[in-house]
């Protein structure tokens, strides 16, 4: 039985769901000859680890207790009296992670899994790569940091997986890597990579006011607590930057033109969430409605997309043919059109659920299993 040691950073929705997937898939993985051995879990303030990372692991009861505690909004410090695991506070956290990585990285192997939403994990990830560890990411921020950090993280391509940074469980990164490896140049990508904005744009196309659609999306749990986190387009911009860098573009976030769906005077420092929803958003209804009508006259649909072509990398509203894959998009699915030498007139289209903790965690788990051959 191949045993893979894992250290999880981030116990939010995706991290917790990943732990649940690991527990529920025990018999499946055993039949495949692999066992996932969780030796450490950390949140932003504390780290809980097994007493002996070489030989022991967190049992399933403990992993589910981690999920329960974090679901309640509590700290991992509450686990200090539960079982034999040790808890380290923030000041000791990084040093302990490096200690585990240095001991396991070049012996039994260790996969450091980043399911956080923090930029602060970037330094840790860049160091554990040097210690022989593998890294698996759902967190976009390390890969959208400086080019120096990006180059470091991808310097060992066999030891990094980050499929879930762009399309949750969709095979976007893997498909692009296969195309690029075959020598087929990618000359254009167009994608709707936000389930929230995909839903919003398809609903306003049906004649509903933007303000009503956003409120409905918020009530359905499609948006962040502050919908401006979605409407500002930065999440899509990070995904676009990851894809552009994958294609070899040496660019930073400042290179990307980003269209926000709300003006600066409606930003978080000016309006509260309630004010934005009740007073700000209705002022944007007419403008979006007019753009929808104008596009419709030309047989087009409005979609919030990223476009990567040559030196161009931008994120915002585009008019697209209504009969195209993006034009036909409904609901919260993600769609990416890939144009290459081989896929020229008819693009390769990748479509499916591109958001949600369950889908993203399943993508992370698949990435972990994809590197099992690197473990003894």
Q: State yes or no: is 140 an active-site residue.
A: no
If we measure between CA atoms, which residue out of 246, 253, 237, 258 comes closest to residue 186?
246
**Chain centre distance of CA 174:** 15
Question: Which stretches does DSSP call E strand in the chain?
Answer: 2-9, 34-42, 46-49, 86-89, 111-114, 134-137, 160-161, 186-192, 257-258, 300-309, 312-321, 333-340, 348-353
Q: If you count DSSP H runs as helices and E runs as strands, how many of each does the chain have, helices first? A: 15, 13
CA distances to 104, 170, 190, 195, 334 from 349, in Å: 40, 11, 10, 16, 10
Distance CA 39, CA 5 (A): 6
Helix, strand or coil, per DSSP, at residue 219: helix
Residue with tokens 């099992």: 372
Residue with tokens 């409407």: 231
CA distances to 113, 154, 250, 374 from 151, in Å: 19, 5, 10, 21
Q: Which of 70, 96, 152, 239 is catalytic?
A: 239
Question: Please, are residues 18 and 365 in contact by the beta-carbon 8 Å criterion?
Answer: yes
Give me the residues paired with residue 307 across strands.
Answer: 190, 314
CA distances to 125, 167, 255, 372, 375 from 132, in Å: 11, 27, 33, 14, 11
Helix, strand or coil, per DSSP, at residue 249: coil
Residue with tokens 């009740």: 278
Distance CA 96, CA 93 (A): 5
Residue 350 has phi, psi (to 5 degrees) of -115, 120
Active site residues: 239
């Amino acid at each position: 039985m191949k045993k893979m040691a894992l250290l999880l950073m981030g116990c939010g929705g995706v991290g917790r769901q990943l732990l649940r997937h690991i527990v529920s898939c025990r018999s499946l993985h055993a039949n495949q000859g692999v066992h996932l051995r969780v030796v450490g879990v950390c949140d932003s303030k504390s780290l809980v680890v097994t007493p002996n990372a070489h030989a022991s692991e967190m049992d399933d009861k403990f992993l589910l207790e981690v999920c329960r505690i974090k679901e309640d909004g509590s700290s991992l410090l509450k686990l200090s009296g539960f079982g034999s695991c040790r808890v380290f506070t923030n000041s000791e956290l990084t040093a302990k992670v490096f200690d585990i990585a240095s001991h396991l990285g070049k012996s039994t192997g260790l996969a450091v899994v980043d399911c956080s939403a923090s930029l602060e994990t970037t330094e840790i990830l860049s160091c554990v790569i040097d210690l022989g560890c593998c890294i698996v990411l759902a967190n976009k921020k390390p890969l959208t940091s400086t080019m120096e950090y990006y180059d470091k993280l991808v310097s060992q391509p066999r030891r990094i997986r980050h499929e879930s940074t762009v399309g949750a469980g969709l095979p976007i990164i893997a498909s692009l890597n296969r195309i690029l490896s075959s020598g087929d140049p990618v000359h254009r990508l167009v994608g709707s990579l936000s389930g929230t904005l995909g839903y919003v744009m398809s609903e306003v196309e049906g004649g509903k006011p933007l303000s009503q659609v956003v409120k409905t999306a918020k009530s359905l749990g499609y948006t962040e607590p502050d919908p401006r986190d979605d409407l500002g387009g930065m999440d899509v911009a990070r995904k676009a930057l990851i894809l552009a860098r994958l294609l070899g573009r040496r660019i930073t976030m400042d290179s990307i033109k980003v269209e926000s769906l709300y003006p600066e005077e409606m930003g978080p420092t000016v309006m509260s969430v309630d004010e934005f929803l009740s007073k700000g958003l209705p002022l944007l209804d007419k403008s979006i409605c007019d753009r929808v009508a104008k596009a419709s006259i030309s047989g087009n649909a409005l979609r919030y997309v990223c476009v990567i072509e040559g030196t161009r990398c931008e994120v915002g509203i585009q008019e697209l043919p209504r009969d195209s894959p993006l034009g036909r998009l409904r609901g919260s699915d993600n769609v990416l059109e890939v144009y290459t030498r081989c896929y020229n007139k008819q693009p390769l289209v990748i479509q499916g659920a591109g958001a949600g903790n369950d889908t993203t965690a399943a993508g992370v788990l698949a990435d972990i299993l994809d590197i099992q051959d690197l473990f003894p």
